[in-house]
Chain A
């Protein structure tokens, strides 16, 4: 199991496109940008719908269940502040509710060797400070 207790994560800085995502996460809700014209979910948020070119976009709550789309096991900490946690699993998750929108995370509460493409995961929330809460993932409870 990777030891995250000594890791100080970089704090996300919301901007005009991404603020609703972080506001929702603070409430323990996963919300993704969705095109109100064609229904396409996209992540990271963008200025326009990259599926249909519409500009009418809104954040909508999604359920936090999905699968590991892919992952990497980090042995060499490019960011030295992650050195206490190596080796650790950085994963990319595709949510059931938002196919094609890929979210980064870490595989929490399990050995890094449990990361496999296709494995079921669910969202959990990790508060970083009073303002920012980070969506994270753990293996889905059966």
Chain B
């Protein structure tokens, strides 16, 4: 990467010496044919100095002179417009010249350029200034895609904007809005600008009242004539970050930024939706795969931890838009192993963090860096995740996939030579999985009546989600259709008068769910070779695996159920399925107690 910079005094001296050299070479002449080559060499050197050196030196010195004037009293109609023309000339010379222009002008100088172009000066040519500002903004955007802007440029730009005095006709906030609209900046610049803007807000937190605007409005810039005055610069920045997972991850991996945005910063519905969408992308986006680079997985895990632990502190979660629920469900769903660990061993946590963790069921070799969740924060965000039908279905689908992998891993791990008691090993694994299922089931029903939904229907949907998608991936999950809405008072009345019925219903759900998990385990134990039931061909797929439960007809189910009983309860592997059922019933009991309380 080339460094860009110059020393004005030295450059002026160099210019003078170049002119002396040119004069000297111009006087070099001879008629002697033996000197022709020397004369030609001297002429070429002179032309190079005249046509390459001097124009470049003059451009740099010229821009420096304008920059000096820019930092002093700037007259928008003259110097600033000349500066934009100069910028256009620089851009014609190529990307390096364009970047050199902005590097020379600096972030603060660039901020000032746009502020002055937007001065509400009725005696000036407003339309021409606006056109020039758009040209300059496009050039700035192009420059941010190159490598040579100084590291501090974005910081200085935001600093220049917020430091600019609010005078009549000058509006730094509106200028910022203009800069963030209708243009596509380079990722590094955008992240650095967002970072700088957020830090500006954090720095001013002490002086702001709780409902003060984050960005003071001036008298309006002529540059933002076609924009909403109230457009929030942070919201616009988040809009520009859009679907860039790397950018979001870079931004939110900074602890101070993440804490402020997730826990403290006020947002309207659109803003909060964008923030959680970005957080989901950073923590659980498509590039967060097991084979991703360790640094990426670390940052994703940190963002997930910050998202859960800080978001839970927000005071406006009860009125959060549905997209927040879905983003929470997807984030928890992607990090279910971490959720599982914290459900098994809940702990309070002061700060977001990551930790390398393993679980016996996954075998001794598995140790991955995962987010750590505060116990209360995890409960709050889980409630949030299952608070909408789509969030509920999303988390259910993620859990199905996790359960499948968990059962397969545990079945395989139980066959290791060092596992002395496979049955005991599997019982422990089943108990652990039952704990997670029970935890999520309890939260699935917890808030249902608060939204006017029938809690038993929410639980029913949770069970249906498990049965309906036992062999399907997350992407194939159909979102359950919500049942008819019942008012909370009606729900309360119905439940209060039908406690026995409700409990019986829960028992039925538990049995059904236990059966589902039993089948799940049965399949995986069969695949791993732990058990060898004599299965008829009709219940098997062409590659020898058990077909999904919903595909089996009544007779086939009965055959499989008999074999399950024979091979798990009475066979060589002594698995206590009652433990599974107990875990679910225990969770349901909590749910029932919560409600009656």
A binds B: no
A interface residues (Cβ-Cβ under 8 A, vs B): none
